[in-house]
Amino acid sequence: MKGAVYHGPRDIRIEDVPEPTPQPGRLLIEVSRNGICGSDLHTYVGASKGGATMHVPGIVLGHEFAGTVRDVGDGIDDIAVGTHVAIAPIEWCGSCYSCTHSWPQMCRKLGLYGGYRLPLHGGLAPLVSVSRRSAFEVPEGLGVIEAALAEPMAVAVHAVRRAPNLLGANVMVLGAGPIGLGVLQSAIAAGARTTIVTEISEARRRAAARLGAGAIVDPSADDPRTAVRDLTGHGVDVVFETTANDAALSQGIRSLRPRGTLVSVAGWGELARVDMGVSMAKEIDIRFTMTYEPAIDYPATLSMLASGAFDTDVLISDHIPLDRVIEDGLEELLHHADQHVKILVDPS
């Protein structure tokens, strides 16, 4: 079978890889779709951000995937061949401090399918072997193709779970990429009263509007604090930061009400500049999120996807075949990210 294999920066090849066979405790998944993530772009260009240097060469990329169980290994009797599943693409040791507190996403030995830190093949191939505990059944009402959005949307759901209660809250989301838009929809589902989104790309601002954002600001043209003042008077209760951008972070902190909370969702590759003076004067809280807790966030995200809390038509901007993953996927996102939300790859 063909897979998209990482060999190094700017060196991802579509080449023959051996078909996986069912192993004890593991499932063989026929991949329906695999989404391209911002971190895949960092890996592709070899930026330090996203841990490109942590990628194992010779491994099939891709960590945002769903599919159909094609075979089960010895010892598995609780899932049938033919079941649609979304994959939480992390591997954890099960015995370190974080694992024993049910926070596998912070495992000391954490690895990701797609070759991040561990030689685990990812979803950019027709077949992939995953551990049983990583697979979550896709509920009625959600297609196995759209289920590929479970991974990025679980990041959004986890971020909202890490935030204070959003019922009736004024919320600001910095950035309207896939994660920012997912956070917007999760915040609306959690009962946010006002939502303000900042985004420099026009296409992504349009997506935010279609998803019901209360106010949308282009921070390169207007100061978001004007919208915040008009809509809330005193500042927002919660800001979600999804951009890893100092200017946005600063606008977010300045948009908070006294004792507001900033939730940092983005993956930062460099040190951030934080206005400690303003943060202190308003006694703000800053919280961080690290991907998701699969056992909690995946079932929640999948039922939200099935119920329509996430608009998959807006979130999925293109479907491409595996042999176009470089030109129409990675290169396209590198040069025209502002025209896309999520590109899904069909590896069949």
Q: Which stretch in 88-96, 123-131, 211-219, 339-347 sits in contact with Zn ion by CB under 5 A?
A: 88-96
Q: Which stretch in 30-38, 140-148, 170-178, 184-192 sits in contact with Zn ion by CB under 5 A?
A: 30-38
Residue 239 burial (10 A CB sphere; 0-12, 13-18, 19+): buried
- Rounded to 5 degrees, φ, ψ at 162 are -80, -15
> Quick check: 148 binds Zn ion (CB under 5 A)?
no
> Quick check: 37 binds Zn ion (CB under 5 A)?
yes
Q: Which stretch in 84-92, 210-218, 277-285, 289-297 sits in contact with Zn ion by CB under 5 A?
A: 84-92
Residue among 97 and 281 whose Cβ is closer to Zn ion: 97
Helix axes 224-232, 246-255, angle to 10 degrees: 20
Q: Give the residue carrying structure tokens 């919660």.
A: 238
- Candidates 93, 145, 320, 326; binder of Zn ion (CB under 5 A) is 93
Q: Which stretch in 101-109, 264-272, 293-301, 326-334 sits in contact with Zn ion by CB under 5 A?
A: 101-109
Q: Kind of pairing, strands 84-87 and 135-137?
A: antiparallel
- Candidates 6, 44, 92, 240; binder of Zn ion (CB under 5 A) is 92
CB 12 within 8 A of CB 6: yes
- Candidates 47, 54, 96, 190; binder of Zn ion (CB under 5 A) is 96
- Rounded to 5 degrees, φ, ψ at 20 are -70, 155
Q: Which of 76, 67, 60 is nearest to 29 (CA)?
A: 67
> Quick check: 107 binds Zn ion (CB under 5 A)?
yes
- Candidates 12, 59, 88, 99; binder of Zn ion (CB under 5 A) is 99
Radius of gyration over every alpha carbon of the chain, rounded to an integer in angstroms: 20
Q: Round to whole Å and give the CA distance between 217 and 290.
A: 27
CB of 337 to Zn ion, least distance (A): 14
Residue among 99 and 160 whose Cβ is closer to Zn ion: 99
Q: Give the residue carrying structure tokens 């209360």.
A: 214
> Quick check: 106 binds Zn ion (CB under 5 A)?
no
> Quick check: 118 binds Zn ion (CB under 5 A)?
no
Residue numbers at the binding site for Zn ion (CB under 5 A): 37, 92-93, 96, 99, 107
